[in-house]
Amino acid sequence: MFNKDLLKGKGILVTGGGSGLGLAMARRFAELGAAVAICGRNEEKLKKAVAEIGAAGNPVAYAVCDVRDYDAVTAMYQKLREELGEINGLVNNAAGNFYCASEDLTPGGFRAVVDIVLQGTFNCTQQLGKYLIEHKKPGSILNIVTTYTQTGSAFVLPSACAKAGVEAMTKTLAYEWAEYGIRVNGIAPGPFPTKGAWQRLMPSKDVEQMYLKRHPMHRFGNPEELANLAAFLLSDMAAYISGDVVVIDGAEHLQGGQFNFLTQLMPREQLKAIFQAMHPKKKQG
Ligand code: NAP
């Protein structure tokens, strides 16, 4: 579907690009012609990822950087610009999350997640925006949020609050920076099995099976599916899309529909028989 040069001329930084969905996106951007930069806190992980991303033959660079630290982010952009050239794309993907009953959260636990997700996204976004505006260059920013920014979610209060803040930032800056040619969008992923997410959020194989049973497609997402959506949104094919958050979750976020629970109760044929018995005179379909 995509031209191999779709992202040629783009220099894209993926925060947390050394593993998980960040790495899947970074790899895909490089395959589509972008110069790609990744950052994270673990240098060994970044070096390994760079080798993988570089297989596509396009320039790639990394910087060890904790996105919570504004000055470290300044130094990171400087290093990456020297090594890679222009950065005009950013994916705010780095995140932390953990289960905790909200009454048991400590201020430090709450702050740890908010600092990475919300403050980190501000640090990376504001500094890139400032640079692009000063140099009169267009750019594109993509924020990885979650579907529970809209509904909230039990046991992940810091993440829900921080990601909702990032979603507000997405819409605020999309409008404010539109006149500078800077687009800001979001992606809200459903469940994508990554080592990081599964270690923190999928306690056992039994819970995984229960999760799959209640998911409307009965499957998890494939990181390549998300990477393709990210590539499209960062590309010039999406030049008129800004301020949007695209959900990619196989319709999972719609499970609150009033009668959706019926699909979980019994096989569809059995449901149809019940509907027929309730309305015997009406021919359906
Ligand atoms: P992951 O495997 O845990 O990856 C997170 C990455 O962020 C790691 O590479 C980590 O590297 C980096 N990171 C964490 N704290 C950082 C910091 N302070 N500074 C710089 N980098 C930092 O997570 P994932 O599953 O790929 O998720 C990626 C994104 O998708 C996240 O925003 C997540 O909230 C979102 N998401 C994922 C799912 C899912 O099912 N997987 C669902 C909804 C939303 P270091 O530890 O080396 O720094």
Confirm or reject: Cβ of 223 under 6 Å from ligand 1: no
Q: Which of 272, 229, 234 is nearest to 247 (CA)?
A: 229
Q: What is the mean pLDDT of residues 248-275?
A: 93
| pLDDT for res 285 | 56
First to last CA, the chain: 35
| pLDDT for res 227 | 98
Q: In percent, how much of the chain has pLDDT > 70?
A: 99
Q: Could you report the per-residue pLDDT of 103-159, keeping only the tens digit for each?
A: 999 999 999 999 999 999 999 999 999 999 999 999 999 999 999 999 999 999 999
Q: What is the mean pLDDT of residues 252-256?
A: 94
Ligand 1 pocket test, candidate residues 28, 45, 68, 93, most atoms within 8 A of CB: 93
Cα-to-centroid distance, 134 and ligand 1 (Å): 30
Confirm or reject: Cβ of 185 under 6 Å from ligand 1: no
| pLDDT for res 212 | 96
Is residue 148 among the annotated active site residues? Answer: yes
Cα-to-centroid distance, 153 and ligand 1 (Å): 18
Q: What is the mean pLDDT of residues 178-182?
A: 98
Q: What is the mean pLDDT of residues 167-191?
A: 98
Neighbours of 194 (CB within 10 A): 18
**From 131, 148, 180, 211, active-site residue:** 148
Cα-to-centroid distance, 74 and ligand 1 (Å): 21
Confirm or reject: Cβ of 146 under 6 Å from ligand 1: yes
Q: List the chain domain ranges.
A: 11-284
| pLDDT for res 67 | 98
CA distances from 178 to 118, 139, 140, 243 (A): 21, 10, 10, 9
Measure the CA angle with vertex 202, ends 200 and 204; round to 5°: 125
Whether the predicted pLDDT of 282 surpasses 80: no
Q: Could you report the per-residue pLDDT of 28-76, keeping only the tens digit for each?
A: 999 999 999 999 999 999 999 999 999 999 999 999 999 999 999 999 9
Is domain 11-284 annotated with CATH 3.40.50.720? yes
Q: Which residues pair with 140 in a beta bridge?
A: 89, 183
| pLDDT for res 281 | 72
| pLDDT for res 284 | 55
Q: What is the mean pLDDT of the chain?
A: 96
Confirm or reject: Cβ of 20 under 6 Å from ligand 1: yes
| pLDDT for res 237 | 97
Edge to edge, the sheet with strand 182-189 lists 60-64, 35-40, 11-15, 89-92, 139-144, 182-189, 245-248
Confirm or reject: Cβ of 158 under 6 Å from ligand 1: no
Nearest atom of ligand 1 to the alpha carbon of 191:
40
Cα-to-centroid distance, 158 and ligand 1 (Å): 15
Confirm or reject: Cβ of 40 under 6 Å from ligand 1: yes
Confirm or reject: Cβ of 28 under 6 Å from ligand 1: no
Whether the predicted pLDDT of 280 surpasses 90: no
| pLDDT for res 1 | 79
How far apart are alpha carbons 109 and 90 in whole angstroms? 27
Cα-to-centroid distance, 275 and ligand 1 (Å): 45
| pLDDT for res 283 | 59
- Of all protein residues, the one whose alpha carbon is nearest to atom 1 of ligand 1 is 196
CB-based contacts of 211, cutoff 8 Å, min separation 6: 191, 202
Q: Which of 51, 224, 247 is nearest to 149 (CA)?
A: 247
